[in-house]
Amino acid sequence: MLHHEAVREQRLTDTTQHVKKQKTVVSRFESAQTPDDAKLPAQPDHEKNIFEVDKIHAARLAINKRVWYIGKWRGYDKIQDGLPTPFLFSGHFPFARYYSTSSKMVKFEPSVTLPNGEKMPLLGLGTWQSKPNEVKDAVEYALDLGYRHIDTAFVYGNEEEIGEALKKKIDEGVVKREDVFVTTKLWSTYHQPAKVLEAVNLSLKKLQLKYIDLYLIHNPAGFKFVDEKTLFPKDKDDKTMYDQVDHALIWKELEKAVDQGLVKAIGLSNFNHKQIQHVLDNSRIKPANLQVECHAYFMQKPLYEFCKKNNITFTAYGPLGSPTRWGINPKDPILLEEPQLKEIAKRHNKTPAQVLNRFLIERGRATIPKSVHRERIKENFDILDLKFTPEDLQQLDSLDKNLRYFLFDFIQDSVAYPFADPY
């Protein structure tokens, strides 16, 4: 054997051994779906997990009679510490398909474009009930993993810790500010026009950001402002102190926030279609997004169609059925325990939560599952390779029971209570 051949052979052997050591990676290679190389396009197509190859680290190995290389994707330099980034080489170099192998690699790509041209990833990390002492690790871990969309709100009381996590990961070079989509929300005590920009600036300060990607009116009901800490003001008879402001007036202030570059896009949360229409009729900048409860038991079809018609993107909160929400009615079925869901999950070797998240994306909704546990944050992210059959989709569609879990009892007697209307 010639010297250079021997060197090459040795290098291949070394690399093969190196890769074999990474048992989890290799075993997941082995369980990867059969790739249909012939159909790979000659262009990157992130929706289909086709990325551009930057470098091949001279590695080549055969597993399951397929040839694999270890390499690096263009544009993902900072995420390749830890495991090398493996990919399957197709006949269309320099493009290749990503298989869910290294958790440190991919940025979640399925996204929707907002009217302002910005992209919102269809999977984000929810943070309601994520306590300040646990949310920082959750956000840092999520960003390491590839989450690029974080959902918070002034009222969640965790913007500061989320800001710290974002700053840390930006300083470390894991993400650039422009790669992360951050949503936060205007709380009900800041509906008076003179208070709106103050609230925007408070959130910006806590999040340590120069701009917010998406800023939503959290709730159509307005509360009286008492002080920054009083989020649910009550009078001496324990009655909620409402202070209803015409949404069109709040919206004008939000348009100013866009004009000043403080927020990139503005939207609504928990509004019904009539309330949305009122904003549509009285706005210069149209709502970019609606965030409402939505999951397999409550797909919100009429509201979704209404939004689609009006070019409003749609985000599903409580995508897993929000098992720790307030005021659970014990008679309600538990979404994560739905037998049909479990059956579909089993068929695909996935979990019910993964099926729920992927289904929402499949149906055009962004999903923002909340977790403060690393294994679940990872589980909720690991859904790129899940592909439903038409039968699965039919079965999932049939689960819709128009079941609203979040009744918003705390604003039931507000003139702006949104859920008395069918949608």
Ligand X SMILES: NC(=O)c1ccc[n+]([C@@H]2O[C@H](COP(=O)([O-])OP(=O)(O)OC[C@H]3O[C@@H](n4cnc5c(N)ncnc54)[C@H](OP(=O)(O)O)[C@@H]3O)[C@@H](O)[C@H]2O)c1
Which residues form the interface with ligand X (CB under 6 A)?
Answer: 126-128, 151, 218, 269-270, 291, 317-325, 336, 351, 353, 368-373, 376, 379-380
Which C-beta is closer to ligand X: that of 76 or that of 408? Answer: 408
* Residue closer to ligand X (CB basis): 52 or 160: 160
To ligand X, the closest distance from the beta carbon of 318 in angstroms equals 4
Rounded to 10 deg, the angle between the 390-397 and 339-347 helix axes is: 160
Annotated active-site residue in 69, 76, 98, 156: 156
CB of 225 to ligand X, least distance (A): 19
CA 156 to chain centre: 17
Whether 154 contacts 202, CB under 8 Å: yes
Shortest Å, Cβ 414 to ligand X: 14
CB of 303 to ligand X, least distance (A): 14
Least gap, CB of 314 to ligand X (angstroms): 12
Token reading at 234: 């009550």
> CB-wise, 118 or 379, nearer to ligand X?
379
Three-state DSSP state, 349: coil
CA gap 286, 278 in Å, rounded: 11
Q: Are 353 and 369 in contact (CB under 8 A)?
A: yes
Query: Are the C-beta atoms of 126 and 370 separated by less than 8 Å?
Result: yes
DSSP annotation string for 153-177: -GGGT-HHHHHHHHHHHHHTTS--G
Q: For ligand X, which is the closer residue by CB, 86 or 318?
A: 318
C-alpha span between 289 and 216 (Å, rounded): 8
Q: Do residues 261 and 197 lie in contact, with contact meaning Cβ atoms separated by under 8 Å?
A: no
Say if residue 416 is exposed, middle or buried (CB neighbours under 10 Å; 0-12, 13-18, 19+). buried
The least distance separating ligand X from the CB of residue 52, rounded to whole angstroms, comes to 31
- CB-CB neighbours of 6 under 10 Å: 10
Minimal distance, residue 15 CB to ligand X, in Å: 35
Nearer to ligand X, 19 or 384 (CB): 384
Backbone angles phi, psi at 415, to 5 degrees: -65, -20
CB of 193 to ligand X, least distance (A): 22
Pick 101 or 380: Cβ nearer ligand X: 380
Minimum CB distance to ligand X smaller for 72 or for 365: 365
Query: Nearest to ligand X by Cβ — which residue?
Result: 126
Q: Which among 174, 19, 20 has a CA at the least distance from the CA of 104?
A: 174
**First-last CA distance in the chain:** 75
Q: Beta partners for 291?
A: 269, 315
Is residue 156 part of the annotated active site? The answer reads yes
DSSP for 307-325, please give it.
HHHTT-EEEEESTT--TT-
Q: Closer CB to ligand X, residue 90 or residue 322?
A: 322
Q: What is the dihedral of CA 142, 179, 320, 359, to 10 degrees?
A: -130
Find the helix or strand (DSSP H, E) in which 257 lies.
helix 247-259
Whole-angstrom distance, CA of residue 389 vs CA of residue 386: 10
Beta-carbon contacts of residue 189 (< 8 Å; ≥ 6 apart): 195, 222, 223, 224, 225, 226, 230, 231, 233
Cα(101)–Cα(234) distance, integer angstroms: 52
Q: Point out the residues that are catalytic.
A: 156
